[in-house]
Amino acid sequence: MKQLNVDLGDRSYPIYIGDGIIEQIGSYFAKHQISSRSPIMVITDDNVASLHLKKVTTHLLESGYKVVEYIVPAGEMSKSLSVLEQIIGKALDAGLDRTSTIIALGGGVVGDLAGFVAASFMRGVKFVQIPTTILAHDSSVGGKVAVNHPKAKNIIGAFHQPQIVLYDTSTLKTLPEREIKAGLSEMIKHGLIWDAEFSKWIDENAEKLLSLDAEALEYGLYNGCKIKSHVVSEDEREHGLRAILNFGHTIGHALEAVAHYNQLLHGEAIAIGMVGAAKLSVRLGYPERIYTETKAAMKKYGLPIQIPGHLDIDEIMKAMLHDKKFKEGKVVFTILKDIGEAHIQSGISIDLIREIVEELRWEE
Ligand SMILES: NC(=O)c1ccc[n+]([C@@H]2O[C@H](COP(=O)([O-])OP(=O)(O)OC[C@H]3O[C@@H](n4cnc5c(N)ncnc54)[C@H](O)[C@@H]3O)[C@@H](O)[C@H]2O)c1
Ligand SMILES: [Zn+2]
């Protein structure tokens, strides 16, 4: 078992990572003052409910907690105001109050949704994350919680830090292979932007991580969370440094949008985006190895590196520049100065970015 503290003054919280820690949920809750006076609500999705909800509920009941379950349909569509309203209706009917705790049991979708329920119900109640995807090592650190609006993703939200995060690596064993790879894509990102040594470790341990070796997962998730938490502690509200976490995301988000959020998983889209951002870094004069090593990592992990043929380049450029501040044909981009060293560079020409996006069509 590994423990990590996310350092945010009086909003600091611990992340526990290990195999089977759900079994000790009662003692973690007692240690972190999760009250058993009023009911606790566990929010999850229908996939995770059938696999992991029973054990969470059973251990909570055994520890003397009153539990209310809320199951949403799996998928991004559940991050909506109407689902939020229904959950709050159930919370009121079940007698939750200001001292209640909301638990997110699931991936980033459930984490963002349940976190926003916790942030808004009675102006904010305690929140606990039990992440069940690899990608959620990213979303469980930093306190960004949100639902979507039909016009934009994550646009209705808040910053709401959890009380604790219980990362039970045994839950990851039921993940589909494609979700495993896509989740590891964010872990690769954390190495690339911050820690060359961790990047090297990720490269050397691909087989173990892809086969969900417990020890390797614990170490990888711990380091991924640690890097994110380091960045977030220095810049909780994204005034500057936090933007380096967007490495690969400018192109990645555009690809997700043009593919209508249903063809590419987030981790797959940012894998292509990272290859693009690495290419851009080299074009701006930084070492060639940034591109060769980034691309090799994606290939090793079975992640895509090429923009699918049916996605229109004009549409991608439009989606990308839509939410980018740009002046006189110049934009700001997160690039790498070297492996393990990210940097936010302004004044990059849109023509150069277009060239790179066009090349990504033929990457192999
Ligand atoms: N708040 C943040 O900082 C932050 C950061 C990154 C991503 N996100 C958000 O996270 C979401 C993506 O997260 P995700 O990739 O975890 O998606 P997800 O929550 O949709 O999970 C992916 C799929 O895996 C299934 N699943 C989850 N756990 C499982 C398990 N243990 N076994 C089998 N199936 C399981 C889910 O039902 C779903 O179908 C997006 O909405 C994104 O906006 C938020
Ligand atoms: Zn991401």
Q: What is the pLDDT of residues 106-130, one digit of tens each?
A: 999 999 999 999 999 999 999 999 9
The stretch 337-348 carries a mean pLDDT of 95
For 127-193, the DSSP string reads EEEEE-SSTHHHHTSS-EEEEEETTEEEEEEEE---SEEEEEGGGGGGS-HHHHHHHHHHHHHHHHH
Give the residue whose CA is nearest to atom 18 of ligand 1: 107
Q: How confident is the model at residue 237 (pLDDT cuts 50, 70, 90)?
A: confident
How much distance in Å is there from the Cα of 95 to the middle of ligand 2? 35
Distance from the Cα of residue 302 to its chain's centroid: 19
How much distance in Å is there from the Cα of 310 to the middle of ligand 2? 23
Please work out whether the CB of residue 210 comes within 6 Å of at least one atom of ligand 1. no
Question: Whole-angstrom Cα distance, residue 45 to residue 100?
Answer: 20
Residue limits of CATH 3.40.50.1970 in the chain: 2-174
How much distance in Å is there from the Cα of 284 to the middle of ligand 2? 24
- H helix or E strand, kind and range, residue 220: helix 214-234
Closest ligand to 189 CA? 2
How much distance in Å is there from the Cα of 136 to the middle of ligand 1? 6
Q: Which of 47, 134, 189 to mutate to test the pocket of ligand 1 (most atoms within 8 A of CB)?
A: 47
- H helix or E strand, kind and range, residue 345: strand 341-349
Please work out whether the CB of residue 74 comes within 6 Å of at least one atom of ligand 1. yes
The stretch 56-73 carries a mean pLDDT of 98
Please work out whether the CB of residue 181 comes within 6 Å of at least one atom of ligand 1. no
- Under 8 Å between Cβ of 65 and 29: yes
Is 331 a residue whose pLDDT tops 90? Answer: no
Per-residue confidence (pLDDT) for residue 241, from 0 to 100: 86
Beta bridge pairs of residue 102? 41, 127
Give the residue whose CA is nearest to atom 6 of ligand 1: 139
Q: What is the pLDDT of residues 280-301, one digit of tens each?
A: 999 999 999 999 999 999 999 9
Closest ligand to 193 CA? 2
What average pLDDT does the structure give for the chain? 95
What's the CATH fold of domain 2-174?
Rossmann fold (3.40.50)
Please work out whether the CB of residue 22 comes within 6 Å of at least one atom of ligand 1. no
Per-residue confidence (pLDDT) for residue 240, from 0 to 100: 80
Per-residue confidence (pLDDT) for residue 150, from 0 to 100: 87
Q: How many CA atoms lie within 13 A of 277 on its CB side?
A: 34
Produce one character per residue of 72-103: b if its CB has 16 or more CB atoms within 10 Å, e if not.
bebebebbbeebbeebeeebeebebeeebbbb
Atom of ligand 1 nearest to the CA of 131: 28
Domain 177-360 has CATH 1.20.1090.10: yes
Closest ligand to 73 CA? 1
Please work out whether the CB of residue 47 comes within 6 Å of at least one atom of ligand 1. yes
Per-residue confidence (pLDDT) for residue 325, from 0 to 100: 58
Residue 44: strand, helix, or coil: strand
State the catalytic residues: 123, 144, 186, 228, 238, 242, 246, 249, 253, 266
Q: What is the pLDDT of residues 83-104, one digit of tens each?
A: 999 999 999 999 999 999 999 9
How much distance in Å is there from the Cα of 106 to the middle of ligand 1? 7
The stretch 333-348 carries a mean pLDDT of 95
Question: Whole-angstrom Cα distance, residue 146 to residue 111?
Answer: 9
Residue limits of CATH 1.20.1090.10 in the chain: 177-360
Please work out whether the CB of residue 80 comes within 6 Å of at least one atom of ligand 1. no
Give the residue numbers of the binding site for Zn(2+): 186, 249, 266
Q: What's the CA dihedral at 232, 235, 240, 245 to 10 degrees?
A: 0
| Distance separating the N- and C-terminal Cα atoms of the chain | 39
Q: At what angle do helices 313-322 and 249-258 cross, to 10 degrees?
A: 120
The pairing of strands 101-106 and 13-18 is unpaired
Token look-up 């240690």 returns 31
Beta bridge pairs of residue 43? 70, 104
Is 245 a residue whose pLDDT tops 70? Answer: yes
Is 327 a residue whose pLDDT tops 80? Answer: no
Please work out whether the CB of residue 106 comes within 6 Å of at least one atom of ligand 1. yes
Give the residue numbers of the binding site for NAD(+): 108-112, 132-133, 144, 153, 171-174
How much distance in Å is there from the Cα of 138 to the middle of ligand 2? 7
